[in-house]
Structure 1
Amino acid sequence: MRRIYLDHAASTPIHPEVAETMLSVMRDQFGNASSVHSFGRDAKRLVNGSRDKLSMALGCRSDELVFTSGGTESDNLAIFGTVAARADQGRHIITTAIEHHAVLHACQQLEKQGYEVTYLPVDRYGRVHPEQVLEAIRQDTILVSVMYGNNEVGTIQPIEEIGSITRERGIICHVDAVQTLGSLPISCAKLPVDLMSFSAHKINGPQGIGALYIHKDLNIEPVLYGGLQERKRRAGTENLAGIAGFTKAVELIVANIPERQQQDELLRRTLLDSLEKSVGSEYFHVNGASQNQLTHIVNISFPECDTETMLMNLDMEGIAVASGSACTSGSLEPSHVLEAMNLPQNILKSAIRFSFGLGNTSEEIEYTAQKIGTILERIRKRR
């Protein structure tokens, strides 16, 4: 049975050049970057050299990047680190209803500690509007956290406009850019934001490594203690192979953003065109924005078939896609993102996320559409 991977928004295969880079480090570099002997100094040079390359690719200073264990830790460090540093200035936070759970659950934890959180609604395309942020700001607002591109429907948020609003008022702005890195050009210095989270495994890098951009004028409190690494902002022995692999992955993908966008748009168009032929345009619905959206993510509902049934049937055909829903006690709960978009129940409960990346071909997409057509036809005959 052939296997087709269309879940790159969840995690991506490692690029061969990234794997080679990591293997070289794992084979030849084993010193601790905090050690003063030659092995430690070699490790330190690798960390610093990687940070320099990464900062050039992301448009920031090298001392503005903190290596973390991935997107979740980066989000947590940004949120908890900011509120701890500004506890005397206010206890109000603004975010959106469609954030990744790494942000939402962090905010819910802060609510238990007495902070107030405003969860901004979105329109039917999954977009928050800058004026909503402006209206929600209070005298005691200390942090606004808004993702760049949504991981379920791909909608891109107006980060520049939101960042301008927060900067004018001296409020910290955090952006979760985990899903956006490699899909859009990013220059931290040019964007009016203070914190930005990244992760390697979304861009053909290794799992378990990420970074947080922290503006040079911003001080945050650490959430991990035990060492002086990362300028005392994130304790823990550095993941040498992960850092080297992350840096290589960023260099590769940033250099090829136009080509990636073109390829992803081709696959997106192929999927929709093929579904029209094999399913019929009246039998599926595309969720999210048609413009201002990440090209590698397409969220589609098939109202005749619930999400779980479609997922299982495609998996049996060797095709990996995602629901964007939470799995609790073995059953799927509706996606909080689609719920926030106020979609009808038949659309909400039949949504599938397709996400493209390294290795995908138009032929695979056409094959997937054909299989979906077969699955739907089989379901109709059972009625």
Structure 2
Amino acid sequence: MKNKIYLDNAATTPLDPEVISVMLEVMKNTYGNPSAVHAIGRQARVVVEEARKKVASFIHAAPAEVFFTSGGTEANNMVLRSAVKDLGVNHIITSPIEHHAVIDTAELIHQQNNVLLSLVKLDGTGSVDLVHLEEILATHTDKKTLVSLMHANNEIGNLLPLKKVAQLCKKYGVYFHSDTVQTMGHYTFDVRDLDIDFLTCSAHKFHGPKGVGFLFVNQNVQLKPIITGGAQERNMRAGTENIYGIVGLAKAMEIACQHLDEHQKYIQELKTYLIEQLEQNIAGISFNGNPKGDSLYTVLNVLFPNSEMDEMLLFNFDIEGVCVSGGSACSSGSNTGSHVLRAINADMNKPSIRFSFSKYNTKEELDYTMNLIKNWFTGSSKN
């Protein structure tokens, strides 16, 4: 197979051609500054606000509850920092397997602002222990608390029962934020039904452009900007809007929502097929997380048996044209290893590889990948 096989869609996804098309159209014809009062500026403002309405409709929010950002990392920072600064939060509850944008920010806030930081325990599969979460909430009713838990883990794919956590948070009168970077565009969301305070999203995880995302802030919550110097985004985020990115985000979300059931079924079949092939052909194979349970259908984290290729497995995939990840791509330059795999007590002496799928992957690509794996681990493959 001559072309590269891209199985790292949890890191980023290729742009949908329809997204490229609408972005190019706006680049050519809508170059005004949305803050300008003249006709060309007003035209740009209309484009931004139409995109906002579209995004809001997909999550059943009001347009005034959607704020465009540079991506998930900025949006997560806005929630955590503003909750402390503006809402008086003095206790943050999160988990040891959150994305660095949350866990590192929470740790820094804890150190700098005398804010209590609690880490909820994980069960045997690496999922959040809801019993322990309630114990923490019940123990600290004297605190003003923010719970920040991701909807799906970016490395192992474990899913959080959002509704149950939201109900727990309401029971104890605390704020709830969920990082939905891995699930927005892959699942349906109804913020009214969830009764959640904050959601964060990044467009490039569902075939939209990089450098743009959004933050949902419940209308009952009032935050102030952490980036100042302008009145953009209704005084919530200073700086000229990324019009092309915003339009691309809205289009990518529209496509994802229109074809959600179809793509979900197709991608789940790919994931299930790879699990079956690995179990049938590779002795000693196992999986990190809970891939056959409540798990993100786009992610499969495989724990391979030890072999002479331990240190070179990721490199060999790359040499053979298969793009996969050994952990979160956001920290792949680090030599510290995966904090997620350490937190779930995975065997760090064995190589773990994350395969993550999109609507553009095929069964033929998985067959090619399996032939490589069988050749490396059993010395046999089909031509």
Range of TM-score over shorter length: over 0.9
Alpha-carbon spacing, 1:75–1:329, altered in 2? closer, same or farther (3 Å): closer
Contact kept? 1:93, 1:115, Cα under 8 Å: yes
TM-score scaled by structure 2?
0.93
Residues 281-320 of structure 1 aligned to structure 2 (within 5 Å): 282-289=283-290, 290-305=292-307, 308-320=311-323
What percent of counterpart residues are identical?
38
Aligned-partner residue type, residue 115 of structure 1: V
Cα deviation for residue 334 of structure 1 reads 2.6
Following the alignment from structure 2 to structure 1, what is the Cα–Cα distance between the partners of residues 330 and 313?
A: 15
Aligned-partner residue type, residue 134 of structure 2: L
Query: What residue number does 1:354 align with?
Result: 355
Following the alignment from structure 1 to structure 2, what is the Cα–Cα distance between the partners of residues 51 and 329?
A: 33
Give SS of 1:144's match: strand
Residues 143-222 of structure 1 aligned to structure 2 (within 5 Å): 143-222=146-225
1:128 aligns with 2:112: no
Query: Deviation digits for residues 23-50 of structure 1, max 9, x if unmatched?
Result: 0011111100000000110010001111
Cα deviation for residue 18 of structure 1 reads 0.3
Query: What residue number does 2:9 align with?
Result: 8
Following the alignment from structure 1 to structure 2, what is the Cα–Cα distance between the partners of residues 237 and 12?
A: 26
Query: Deviation digits for residues 172-225 of structure 1, max 9, x if unmatched?
Result: 100000001122211112112100001100000000000000000101121100
Cα deviation for residue 330 of structure 1 reads 6.1
Query: What residue number does 2:28 align with?
Result: 27
Following the alignment from structure 1 to structure 2, what is the Cα–Cα distance between the partners of residues 115 and 222?
A: 20
Query: Deviation digits for residues 314-367 of structure 1, max 9, x if unmatched?
Result: 000000000115898966433111211122334xx4111000003110000011
Query: What residue number does 2:98 align with?
Result: 99
Query: Deviation digits for residues 274-303 of structure 1, max 9, x if unmatched?
Result: 3245x42x3311221121111110010112
Alpha-carbon spacing, 1:308–1:248, altered in 2? closer, same or farther (3 Å): farther
Give SS of 2:194's match: coil
Aligned-partner residue type, residue 166 of structure 1: C
Following the alignment from structure 1 to structure 2, what is the Cα–Cα distance between the partners of residues 55 and 221?
A: 20
Contact kept? 1:129, 1:158, Cα under 8 Å: no
Query: What residue number does 1:47 align with?
Result: 48
Give SS of 2:215's match: strand
Query: What residue number does 1:115 align with?
Result: 115
- What residue ranges of structure 1 are gaps of 5+ in the alignment? none
Alpha-carbon spacing, 1:151–1:275, altered in 2? closer, same or farther (3 Å): same
Contact kept? 2:11, 2:330, Cα under 8 Å: no
Contact kept? 1:83, 1:142, Cα under 8 Å: no
Contact kept? 2:152, 2:158, Cα under 8 Å: yes
Query: What residue number does 2:244 align with?
Result: 241
Pairing partner for 1:269 from 263, 267, 272 = 272
Give SS of 1:226's match: coil
Contact kept? 2:11, 2:328, Cα under 8 Å: no
Contact kept? 1:307, 1:352, Cα under 8 Å: no
Aligned-partner residue type, residue 298 of structure 1: L
TM-score scaled by structure 1?
0.93
Alpha-carbon spacing, 1:186–1:361, altered in 2? closer, same or farther (3 Å): same
Query: What residue number does 2:62 align with?
Result: 61
Give the total of aligned pairs. Answer: 373
Aligned-partner residue type, residue 103 of structure 1: V
Following the alignment from structure 2 to structure 1, what is the Cα–Cα distance between the partners of residues 377 and 148?
A: 40
| Aligned residues: CA RMSD | 1.9
Contact kept? 1:326, 1:332, Cα under 8 Å: no
Aligned-partner residue type, residue 201 of structure 1: H
Aligned-partner residue type, residue 297 of structure 2: T
Give SS of 2:353's match: strand
